[in-house]
Amino acid sequence: MKFREKNAAKNDKIVLAYSIEQLISNGREMKVLKISNQKFGENAILYSLTNDNGLTMNVTNLGARIVDLIVPVNGEKRNIVLGFDTAEEYLSKDMYFGATIGRVAGRIKDGSFSIDNHKYQLPVSPENGHTLHGGPESFEAKIWKAEIEEKSNQVSVIFSYMSPDGEHGFPGELKARVIYSLTNENEWIVDYQAETDQPTLYNPTNHVYFNLTGDVTQSVGEHELFVDADRFAVVDSDTTVTGELRSVDETPFDFKESKSMNQVFETRSEQNNLVNGLDHPFILNRTGFDQPQAIITAPKKDLSVEMYTDRPAVVIFTAQFGEMGPEVRGEKLVNHGGLTLETQVSPGAVEFDGFGDIILYPETIYQSRTIYKIN
């Protein structure tokens, strides 16, 4: 069973609402999917996916982003990701919260790159002269097409966007799809797919912020973090990578055993003090879906999120907004009020050997998957 919804016209006031009920194999009736009849903005729609365990994931076609991840914990509902209540708040406060990032996640130094000896120049930030997350008003600002797909074991929202040749200086018409699925195993699955008609760069991610307390006035310092990574990428004062991959051993970057996040906030380590926490790529020791590459655990150990990915790196950012943190669902976001697990090829792949390859050719279909499992 599928429903397709085209982009709403600018002044379109149509409200869409669906409710799907499914009978699963043992005969129990399970309410698998509801799509809210509440508009999320002038052109944006909020989709609400609920599994058999009462876990609800709200996503929107504005930026193909996750808005809420509401988990039952000890009889109460806890929203464990940072987000806003309306599309307008994303536009005015922070467009990256929960969004799909592309064409290229992270910073491209000087906004320049070459493919097959052809040089390209992207728009750069006037503050630092680099290109961040594909340039201004990239994937995170677009209204994506949306398709709803129901399967016996999961329900999905399929977002698609066609990035025209030359958008933000990138070559090639790129057809991108991002699929958000919710399963009865409490998994949020993110599948990325893309194809291009010219050689181009492609390295997407999701900019989700987790705070497992559900309280944005609490720092994530008391969270515990496990990351199966022996190395991290060293960054410069402008948070571009330097090209050095450094061992995590005997540094605050060592999370090979689960440790408190406070170790990156209370240290005198130059790399942590440079960014006031973490804003670094971790090079994963392995990829795949047999064992988690990262785990975040709530302070009371009543909730955890496991990350599984086929990407070789994860960028962890600890929301060091200081006093500039936005109001989130009626509360002022505290400094270090969230942390990201942004799976991708490490930033620096354009500039440095050994950081990976993010060139996508027409004969290749891009596919990758990341799973966040809530326990």
302 is in an annotated binding site: no
Burial of 152 (0-12, 13-18, 19+ CB in 10 A): exposed
342 as an active site residue: the answer is yes
Identity of the residue numbered 210: F
Tokens 């085209």, residue? 6
R_g of the chain computed on alpha carbons: 20
Please, which residues have CB within 8 angstroms of residue 45's CB and are 6 or more apart in sequence? 5, 8, 16, 35, 36, 39, 60, 61, 146
Token representation of residue 311: 């990407």
Report d(CA 28, CA 184) in Å as an integer: 13
Catalytic residue selected from 133, 207, 223, 336: 207
Task: Give the N- to C-terminal CA distance of the chain in Å, as an integer.
Answer: 29
Q: What is the DSSP string of 325-357?
A: PPEETTEEPPTT--EE-EEESPTTTTTSTTS--
207 as an active site residue: the answer is yes
209 is in an annotated binding site: yes
Length of the chain: 375
Q: What region does 367 belong to: left with phi over 0, alpha with psi -120 to 50, or beta?
A: beta
Inter-residue contact 344 to 167 (CB < 8 Å): no
Angle in degrees, CA 68, 370, 317, rounded to 5: 65
Q: Rounded to the nearest 10 degrees, how much is the dihedral formed by the CA atoms of 249, 230, 317, 202?
A: 150
CB crowding 187-203: b at 16 or more within 10 Å, else e: bbbbbbbbbbebbbbbb
Inter-residue contact 34 to 18 (CB < 8 Å): yes
85 is in an annotated binding site: no
Token representation of residue 67: 């808005």
236 is in an annotated binding site: no
Residue numbering of the annotated binding site for beta-D-galactose: 207-209, 279
Residue numbering of the annotated binding site: 207-209, 279
Q: Which are the catalytic amino acids?
A: 207, 342
